A and B are shown apart, each in its own frame.
Chain A
């Protein structure tokens, strides 16, 4: 089985985020890029499926972005056990999920993957659409929010997480594109052999020419952080009246 794992480099949670001069994106030079969390679960799921299905299977880790941000992401994937990497170079700031999906679809079409696994969503933009859109563009079956997978012959059974504690089992024929929820497995740590061996693995760099985006950032700002405390005193009637006034007229939330 040929499995693609889409991984994205995102700013780490601890990075200090600053808006850049354009006012529509962050200053990437002060940001530390790391592997998107749910993508590392997708990679682990792919590696486990490979181990289960057999040795002629292949796991290919795929990423999109600038070389500076993504080099660590590919290396990490290869060190953990992916067989080869595909790096789709894109130095422009592509944020629209459909545009992103088209780049992936175009570049991955000839590979004829049986299975495309991606994280549920990227922790920076959080659209959660790329995996499904790629599946549609490559005419694959799709499922999102997977919390368990079982490969059975030419089908894959997926347990999906629904709202309020509900789950759903769906069976998909291959080829299939599935987005993986964090916590589905316990991601491995790259072994020394994996880290050293990663250097010798095949890494294809592909150029991309993204089309004009259907949507893009207009203005990016860091939320203003204000600390205001107001004590409301009086009997319960006065408190209720004052509270209602604040909620209705000042904060305009009801």
Chain B
């Protein structure tokens, strides 16, 4: 066993204490900034949070998701290595001061069971990751990172020095030198971690634990028109501030670039790069100002490109709510009065007519029965159906009505239905949003059950309104109503056609409302030849219409709206079914022009269409 002189012990103590002090200083500096954020952390539903930490940290579920399975497994080897080396490290330093925590025999056993295998596995892991980063060079990882190179060297050194020490390969001065090298590297980590992306190994378990359940999770911005000048100034000041959750996200980011890889705007050729625009661009301003008032540092143009599809948040392995389109847009609209021209018309329509299209009447609304208190369901149409934004969708509404009637469900429409306000909300015009919401809540609180074919409307009526009002009604998406009717045996289906059918998951339904099974239940009952698209369920690719981008004038730049239609065509399906009117419209717009000459055009259907066509 190695012996240490007083001088050595003093040098080691000074080295470790300075490393720990440095580490804690930077950690506390960041925590201090995080705590300046708006709205407090929430720790509700504790068991769910603990399960989540287990899934995402210990089981690495998100790290190994998608096309990063092998990289994820290599990362797991390194992480487990770190965990198993925790005790070894304490023993390592304890020994120098004459207080080892392992007895000689335990140390030997631990080496055989954990130390040796994980030293080798961890080395394999880090070498694999280094090969990926420095030889394969995936685009998402960005430019050459010297800290990553240093970390690779550090870890390999740690493992080798550890093995040399345990196997007693060296003796005398060489053995001592080996011991000091191992210690130096561990101390080096204390200096390396806090200022780099490697901070994630400290923060990500906490960030995953604290992550809000709602996706997205933007705070309400209630506007009181009678507010005093001071109150208004405070509200505007608040618009530039991040929440505690968002602030912690930024220091936790591991810079892996998955958010950018899945971003439909980025994949479609836009400038939006969520890793930088929504996360890393804000890091230095936060450190420099020591505060969280950095919303104005988000690239405005990139912010307008976001479809708010939440793919970035869904994919993040360290628990970040990435999307900040809501923050930058609210800031631009409310504080700066800066709204792209194409959206000004939309917002004026909403203010003046209560619908997105500026229409004064709706044929579909007039055609359907009016809701009265004796009826079971309010059929909420939404602007898309009401104003025939895709004229074909009107027949989908009629098909849903046919299903309701065949099941004997009584329903009616509200003649004074206003736009749910989704586009205003998503564009950051919270004032126009409130105007519409207040009118709708007043009407809806008089009824019990509401259903709509528009997931955007569901999200607002059910989730967003709750942030501002007490709501007394329940909203179901029509695919949920259909799935329930099937389950209860109130409608029967005779699967008629044997064509190939696939399903495009709408972002609002899958990621925000967490509903992927109801539409599948309904489709599978009607179409036995059902198959999944490559990107499906919660990993779906946005159709391009979200975040009010349906109303964006096509400037020729970026082709977000064509990506998904292209994938559908490549899938060689006969029919693509969707559960959202906007997706339906986008599919129709994309598939027509993209279908190669001589190939039959893929049919676009709503879930209601395929069910109604096969009712027995």
Give A55-71 as 1s and 0s: 1 = Cβ < 8 Å from B's Cβ atoms.
00000000000000000
Q: What is the CB-to-nearest-CB distance from A102 to chain B, in angstroms, rounded to a whole number?
A: 31
Whether the Cβ atoms of B352 and A189 lie closer than 8 Å is: no
Q: Decide yes or no whether A34 CB sits under 8 A from chain B.
A: yes
Q: Which residues of B contact A194 (CB under 8 A)?
A: 337
Q: Decide yes or no whether A191 CB sits under 8 A from chain B.
A: yes
Tell me the chain B residues, 347-364 only, with Cβ under 8 Å from chain A.
Answer: 347-349, 352-353, 357-361
The residue in chain B whose Cβ has the minimal distance to the Cβ of A13 is B358
Tell me the chain B residues, 208-223 only, with Cβ under 8 Å from chain A.
Answer: 223
Known A32-B352, A34-B352, A193-B232: A12·B337 in contact at CB below 8 Å: no
Q: What is the CB-to-nearest-CB distance from A59 to chain B, in angstroms, rounded to a whole number?
A: 15
Q: Decide yes or no whether A80 CB sits under 8 A from chain B.
A: yes
Q: Which residues of B contact A15 (CB under 8 A)?
A: 360
Q: Which residues of B contact A230 (CB under 8 A)?
A: none
Whether the Cβ atoms of A14 and B232 lie closer than 8 Å is: no
Q: Which residues of A contact B361 (CB under 8 A)?
A: 16
Whether the Cβ atoms of A193 and B236 lie closer than 8 Å is: yes
Tell me the chain A residues, 179-202 only, with Cβ under 8 Å from chain B.
Answer: 186-196
Whether the Cβ atoms of B232 and A192 lie closer than 8 Å is: yes
Q: What is the CB-to-nearest-CB distance from A37 to chain B, in angstroms, rounded to a whole number?
A: 10
Q: Which residues of B contact A32 (CB under 8 A)?
A: 352-353, 360
Q: Which residues of A contact B344 (CB under 8 A)?
A: 187, 189
Q: Which residues of A contact B339 (CB under 8 A)?
A: 188-189
Q: Which of A13, A189, A196 contacts B337 (CB 8 A)?
A: A189
CA distance A15 to B229 in the complex (A): 36
Whether the Cβ atoms of A190 and B358 lie closer than 8 Å is: no
Q: What is the CB-to-nearest-CB distance from A172 to chain B, in angstroms, rounded to a whole number?
A: 28
Whether the Cβ atoms of B341 and A192 lie closer than 8 Å is: no
Q: Which residues of A contact B229 (CB under 8 A)?
A: 196
Q: Which residues of B contact A195 (CB under 8 A)?
A: 431
Give A105-129 as 1s and 0s: 1 = Cβ < 8 Å from B's Cβ atoms.
0000000000000000000000000
CA distance A38 to B506 in the complex (A): 39
Q: Which of A80, A188, A190, A196 contacts B227 (CB 8 A)?
A: A196
Known A34-B348, A34-B352, A187-B344: A14·B360 in contact at CB below 8 Å: yes
The residue in chain A whose Cβ has the minimal distance to the Cβ of B347 is A189
Tell me the chain A residues, 65-109 only, with Cβ under 8 Å from chain B.
Answer: 80
Q: Which residues of B contact A14 (CB under 8 A)?
A: 349, 353, 357-360
Known A32-B352, A34-B348: A188·B338 in contact at CB below 8 Å: yes
Q: Which residues of A contact B336 (CB under 8 A)?
A: 191
Q: What is the CB-to-nearest-CB distance from B347 to chain A, in angstroms, rounded to a whole number?
A: 7
Q: Which residues of B contact A187 (CB under 8 A)?
A: 341, 344
The residue in chain A whose Cβ has the minimal distance to the Cβ of B344 is A189
CA distance A34 to B348 in the complex (A): 9
Q: Which residues of B contact A12 (CB under 8 A)?
A: 352-353, 358
Give A10-49 as 1s and 0s: 1 = Cβ < 8 Å from B's Cβ atoms.
0011111000000000000000101000000000000000
Q: Which residues of B contact A190 (CB under 8 A)?
A: 337
Q: Decide yes or no whether B335 CB sits under 8 A from chain A.
A: yes
Tell me the chain B residues, 193-209 only, with Cβ under 8 Å from chain A.
Answer: none
Whether the Cβ atoms of A191 and B337 lie closer than 8 Å is: yes
Whether the Cβ atoms of B431 and A192 lie closer than 8 Å is: yes
Q: Which residues of B contact A191 (CB under 8 A)?
A: 333-337
Q: Decide yes or no whether B225 CB sits under 8 A from chain A.
A: yes
A-B interface pairs (CB < 8 A), number: 53
Which of the four size classes fits the interface of chain A?
Answer: 10 to 19
Q: Decide yes or no whether B235 CB sits under 8 A from chain A.
A: yes
Whether the Cβ atoms of A192 and B334 lie closer than 8 Å is: yes
Known A14-B353, A34-B348, A34-B352: A192·B360 in contact at CB below 8 Å: no
Q: What is the CB-to-nearest-CB distance from B206 to chain A, in angstroms, rounded to a whole number?
A: 35
Which of A14, A15, A32, A196 has its CB near the most chain B CB atoms (within 10 A)? A196
Q: What is the CB-to-nearest-CB distance from A38 to chain B, in angstroms, rounded to a whole number?
A: 14
The residue in chain A whose Cβ has the minimal distance to the Cβ of B233 is A193
CA distance A185 to B479 in the complex (A): 46
Whether the Cβ atoms of B232 and A189 lie closer than 8 Å is: no
Q: Which residues of A contact B335 (CB under 8 A)?
A: 191-193
Known A32-B353, A34-B352, A191-B337: A196·B358 in contact at CB below 8 Å: no
Q: Which residues of A contact B227 (CB under 8 A)?
A: 196
Q: Which residues of B contact A188 (CB under 8 A)?
A: 337-339
The residue in chain A whose Cβ has the minimal distance to the Cβ of B231 is A196
CA distance A34 to B344 in the complex (A): 13
Whether the Cβ atoms of B236 and A189 lie closer than 8 Å is: no
Q: Which of A16, A34, A186, A193 contacts B341 (CB 8 A)?
A: A186
Q: What is the CB-to-nearest-CB distance from B497 to chain A, in angstroms, rounded to a whole number?
A: 37
Whether the Cβ atoms of B338 and A189 lie closer than 8 Å is: yes
Whether the Cβ atoms of A196 and B232 lie closer than 8 Å is: yes
Whether the Cβ atoms of B236 and A192 lie closer than 8 Å is: yes
Whether the Cβ atoms of A196 and B341 lie closer than 8 Å is: no
Q: Which of A13, A186, A196 contacts B225 (CB 8 A)?
A: A196
CA distance A190 to B232 in the complex (A): 15
The residue in chain B whose Cβ has the minimal distance to the Cβ of A81 is B337
Q: What is the CB-to-nearest-CB distance from B95 to chain A, in angstroms, rounded to a whole number?
A: 64
The residue in chain A whose Cβ has the minimal distance to the Cβ of B430 is A192
Give B224-266 as 1s and 0s: 1 = Cβ < 8 Å from A's Cβ atoms.
0101010010011000000000000000000000000000000
Q: Which residues of A contact B352 (CB under 8 A)?
A: 12, 32, 34
Q: Which residues of B contact A189 (CB under 8 A)?
A: 333, 337-339, 344, 347
CA distance A12 to B349 in the complex (A): 10
The residue in chain A whose Cβ has the minimal distance to the Cβ of B337 is A191
CA distance A195 to B232 in the complex (A): 11
Q: Which residues of A contact B359 (CB under 8 A)?
A: 14
Q: Which residues of A contact B348 (CB under 8 A)?
A: 34
CA distance A195 to B434 in the complex (A): 14
Whether the Cβ atoms of A80 and B358 lie closer than 8 Å is: no
CA distance A14 to B227 in the complex (A): 34
CA distance A89 to B225 in the complex (A): 27
CA distance A191 to B335 in the complex (A): 6
Q: What is the CB-to-nearest-CB distance from B342 to chain A, in angstroms, rounded to a whole number?
A: 11
Q: What is the CB-to-nearest-CB distance from B485 to chain A, in angstroms, rounded to a whole number?
A: 37
CA distance A96 to B357 in the complex (A): 33
CA distance A21 to B173 in the complex (A): 110
Whether the Cβ atoms of A16 and B337 lie closer than 8 Å is: no
CA distance A12 to B348 in the complex (A): 11
CA distance A190 to B349 in the complex (A): 15
Whether the Cβ atoms of A192 and B358 lie closer than 8 Å is: no
The residue in chain A whose Cβ has the minimal distance to the Cβ of B360 is A16
Q: Which residues of B contact A186 (CB under 8 A)?
A: 341
The residue in chain B whose Cβ has the minimal distance to the Cβ of A35 is B348
The residue in chain B whose Cβ has the minimal distance to the Cβ of A79 is B337
CA distance A191 to B348 in the complex (A): 14
The residue in chain B whose Cβ has the minimal distance to the Cβ of A32 is B352
Q: Which residues of A contact B337 (CB under 8 A)?
A: 80, 188-191, 194
CA distance A190 to B333 in the complex (A): 8
The residue in chain B whose Cβ has the minimal distance to the Cβ of A33 is B352
A-B CB contact pairs (8 Å), 7 listed: A12-B353, A14-B349, A14-B358, A34-B348, A189-B338, A192-B235, A192-B236
For the complex of A and B, 9 pairs with smallest distance between CB atoms: A191-B337, A189-B339, A14-B358, A192-B334, A189-B337, A188-B337, A16-B360, A32-B352, A196-B232
Question: Which B positions have Cβ atoms within 8 angstroms of A?
Answer: 223, 225, 227, 229, 232, 235-236, 333-339, 341, 344, 347-349, 352-353, 357-361, 431
Question: Which A positions have Cβ atoms within 8 angstroms of B?
Answer: 12-16, 32, 34, 80, 186-196
Apart from A189-B333, A192-B235, A196-B227, 9 more pairs, CB < 8 Å: A16-B360, A188-B338, A188-B339, A189-B338, A189-B347, A192-B335, A193-B232, A193-B335, A195-B431
